Amino acid sequence: MKLTINQKNYEVNVDIRTSLLDVCREYLELTGSKKGCDHGQCGACTMLVNGRRINSCLTLAIMHDGSEITTIEGIGCPHDLSPLQQAFVTHDAFQCGYCTSGQICSAIGMLDEYRKGWPSHVSETLTDKTPLSPKEVAERMSGNLCRCAAYPNIVAAIIETRPLIIQPINQEEKNSSLMANKSKCDQEFSS
């Protein structure tokens, strides 16, 4: 099967019952996404598939042949953090760090859902865009657990970076930005 992960093409030959998370971690050495519960209940394994957040422990890799998959490795690297990753550091939005990659991937997907006008359970109306309040962010991020209980800090980091992340940009700009970031990270990890 052919997978496109972080704008890089991979060809893997795995059992059709293998989850996307296991392919990334065990076959491709993309270990940023974590296996927390392996039942889709904690969100530590959250990745973006075609821009939508998914629990990668619950989905078979074969289902995403031809999809654009983004893991935490495609968002930033240690010496070139994305604005959201930097906000997580600034707001101390992690303690043990186990859930952080899933939280960040989920936040990016959630902010895109918000930009598109998708309501949440606590949205006041279905037609008007509800302000992105701490309550709204907490509800939209409720599929991601933090056992260290850093929720207020996670919400603060997301709200701080909201204007930077959901600005409308064209696909070409987005791709060139991701590719520049990917090149920096590739150089960093190959040396």
The predicted-structure confidence for 72-114, as pLDDT tens digits, reads as follows: 999 998 899 999 999 999 999 988 999 999 999 999 999 999 9
Q: Residues 66, 114: one domain?
A: no
Q: Residues 32, 103: one domain?
A: no
Residue 60 pairs with which residues in a beta bridge? Answer: 19
**3-state SS record for the chain:** CEEEECCEEEECCCCCCCEHHHHHHHHCCCCCCCCCCCCCCCCCCEEEECCEEEECCCCEHHHHCCCEEECHHHCCECCECCHHHHHHHHCCCCCCCCCHHHHHHHHHHHHHHHHCCCCCCCCCCCCCCCCCCHHHHHHHCCCCCCCCCCHHHHHHHHHHHHHHHCCCCCHHHHHHHHHHHHHHHHHHHHC
Q: Residues 154, 100: one domain?
A: yes
The pLDDT score that the predictor gives to residue 187 is 60
Instruction: Examine residue 137 and state whether it is found in any structural domain, yes or no.
Output: yes
The CATH number of residue 105's host domain is 1.10.150.120
The CATH number of residue 64's host domain is 3.10.20.30
Q: Residues 157, 115: one domain?
A: yes
Q: Residues 88, 157: one domain?
A: yes
Cβ-based neighbour number of residue 182 at 10 Å = 16
Cα dihedral 39→42→167→69 (10° resolution) = -30
Q: What is the pLDDT of residues 3-24, one digit of tens each?
A: 999 999 999 999 999 999 999 9
Q: Give the range of the structural domain holding residue 59, as residue numbers without chain letter.
A: 2-74
Q: Residues 67, 115: one domain?
A: no
Checking if the pLDDT of 124 tops 60, the result is yes
Q: Residues 102, 144: one domain?
A: yes
The pLDDT score that the predictor gives to residue 167 is 63
Residue type (1 letter), 111: L
> Quick one: tokens of 153?
């800090």
pTM of the predicted structure, to 2 decimals? 0.85
